[in-house]
Chain A
Amino acid sequence: MNTGFMVIFRRDLLVAIRHRGDLANPVIFFFIVIVLVPLGLTPESSKLSEIAPGILWVMALLASLLSLDSLFQNDYDDGTLEQIIILPQPLYFMVLAKIIVHWLVTGLPLSLLAPILGMMLSLPDAGYPALVLSLLMGTAILSLLGAVGAALTLPLGKEGLLLPLIVMPLYMPVLIFGANSVQLAINGFSVIGPLATIGSLLALSLIVAPYVTAGALRLSIQG
């Protein structure tokens, strides 16, 4: 395996584990936000079950998005990024490692937790496999595309919510296919179509996103 990849992978995982609390945070955020929905909307399970697929997907998207802020920020602030970028290693792999760690600590647990939340929102039984599968792939896409946004907004400082603004449009296709696959499954249709689409989106962003991110990072230290 590529050295840069392995080193950054292990380092970022170590940092994530060091911040023990933080590991659980996107998951807790997801959980809490889902609880907000019945409180704001309605406790009736018949109504909740109708909106459950969409709500679960929108909130998973938000949870993943919000944890992106810090993907490169600390490295940027403490000078690590500047020094990593001038290493004689392909930046692509180092960026990929960071993104994968991000997914491991956000997207993966989110997807695994989703069924419990689905249950709380009375998601019909038929929806669960599609929910988990679409979230597993979908959150990976979110991490990949989100990294592009995080890199682009890096020199602009932490304040503000510019990042969501930039990545949200990119997220829309994932959201549409993801939420609809769950809806289709509930209605008894085959979900192979939308899941295959998500899969190919994933493949595409896996190839493109780290490159673009690497480019954006190079720009970010030119300030």
Chain B
Amino acid sequence: MTHLASSSEITPEVVARHGLSPAEYERILQILGRAPNLVELGIFSVMWSEHCSYKSSRVHLRKFPTKGPRVLQGPGENAGVLDIGDGFAVVFKMESHNHPSFIEPYQGAATGVGGILRDVFTMGARPIASLDSLRFGRLDDPRQRHLVDGVVRGIGGYGNSFGCPTVGGETAFHPCYDGNILVNAFNLGLLRADRIFRAVAAGVGNPVIYVGSRTGRDGIHGATMASEEFSETSEEKRPTVQVGDPFTEKLLLEACLEVMKGDLIVGIQDMGAAGLTSSSLEMASRGGVGIEIDLSRVPLREEGMTPYEIMLSESQERMLIVARAGRERDVEAIFRKWDLQVEVVGRVTDDGLLRLLHAGKVVGEIPVKPLAEEAPVYERPMTRPAWQDEIQALDPDGIPVPEDLGRTLVDLIGSPGLASKAWVYRQYDSVVRSNTLEGPGGDAAVIRIKDTRKAIALSVDCNHRYCYLDPRLGAALAVAEAARNVSCAGALPLAITDCLNFGNPERPEIMWQFAECVEGIAEACRALDTPVVSGNVSFYNETKGRGIFPTPIVAMVGLIEDATAFAAPFFRSEGDLVALLGEAPGELGASEYLAALHGIERGRPAPLDWAREKAVQAACRAGIAARLFRSAHDCADGGFAVALAECCVGGPEAIIGAEVELPRGSRADALLFGEAPSRIIVSFDPSDRERAERIAREAGAPFEVIGRVGGDRLRIGDWIDLPIGEIRGAWREGLSRALREGG
């Protein structure tokens, strides 16, 4: 194999430039029994990058509960799959595209959406709902406003053209994201439970087929870029930016679904990060076989591309298929019909090697199994930060209660983080596919499943401040909030996917935050019986040594058995009674109120009582299923007062006031704006009061009627009394004003 031994080019510098440590390089030498050539080194480099190998996170992720009666596919495939009955299953996953979006917001976000869509339709599902979770820095910086604009356009530009509705998400701002924005895209698809496709190669001699767009020099080493900190030089190092082509993706979707209808293919995998490299290796590794690919047959967009470039290109809108021998023509005909590239580039072999040919020569040969199984796994050192105790200490006595609490409410609800996100989601098609029972604007999006009585409810959540102040509790609260949001739509929470965004894992403090957050999610998922079926880790969200707050984003998928019974998030009728499920203990720590109005990010989030949380959610679902509750909305950022105000002004049209009393007990600002979990505001017809009380009692949830819907003012005790129009104005305009004027 002399042709493979031309390794004089592999100097220690070249190894380092590929992000491989000397120890990792040693391991490569052992696996190959010789020095790699450049193509092979490139392949190891991307496969063993943090992004592809999960080498720092793997030991922790094992703690997640991943099984359950409905789980048809847990983590490890392109996306997780849940059985929803009636012969249907849903496929979903979330993924980050943080670094590319910072460099080129439109294309970065667009290709992020493209990537997650492919993950879902690779499994045979038609994508039916997208969510997007976004974090930006301070809006007084024009660069951030430009990023917001580009990211939102990019998500819309791709999703709208592709024809999958974007039905919800979250948008938050904090200085910790100034140098590292977060763009996490979620997608959910629908398929028949007995028609799941997997990314596996099998059947020696079966053809390996390349389909989709041509390969260009896009994003070479994107995966390694996503595994490094930003620095001054990353501007120069940047690869050709990937440009999304949603039209081709849409054709690819239709063609793939058509191919999957017949008995034509064995396995299929999208070419995501690390393109042809990871798709071929992962398929071979799952099938326990080898794959031989002739790179001369890969359709190229540019002339003179080398095997190295072809293997590492991250051009979008491509897939790799292992077809049944003899069915090549049928596969080709379908992709041609959709005007896509289709080329038999190789075949499945029995020697367990990934063998690459180019111009008649072998240009690379790697044993598949060791590359996957002997990939490095690190138990990185962890330390609880020295400052953790300090930031958890809070002395409320030093914080004055504002004189004008009405003014405080208006200021809070008009701040970009709490104001309406309509500016964002109005740029997304939320209705295409005719399933959107509840679009963006409420607690959870609700998507009906045609041909059944069912609907799916979706919510994506995370409070980054909670996670900074107490990573374990904060992450658990993210799961609890996502579940609560889904329960507010009347849905039973079933399972989650997550996207864990953190700083540099080589720093022990970051690794501690990560491990704590994973524990928190695991604990919450066990408590709520909602397994983790898929997920994604994004490390190195750090610029010049400054990391983001730990930001484990959680997306919950819930099921509504009878889609005709679900509640609106907003008050609907004058005269309805308002009740609080749960209690108002009045805790100030970690609140948006402290951060936004007093500039204090300290204390601890209010503790979670799982029994209470579950009881409150169960009562809410039962009240909705019994068609008692006309509205249900949880108390989250901004606490009780903000939630109540949203019930009044959040509806698409009519706005409606309310009058409520809160039991006194603690200081007024804590009662109004404290962020204790496990609370839901519901409304119902007065004649249903006793039934409502009974439902809450049976579920074991605290329940208190606190007031009544009606009028054109919002009154809370003798603290707040405001015309509803004033609140509405601040809430509606808050975000667009900040984007226009900054700050």
Q: Is B a genuine binding partner of A?
A: no
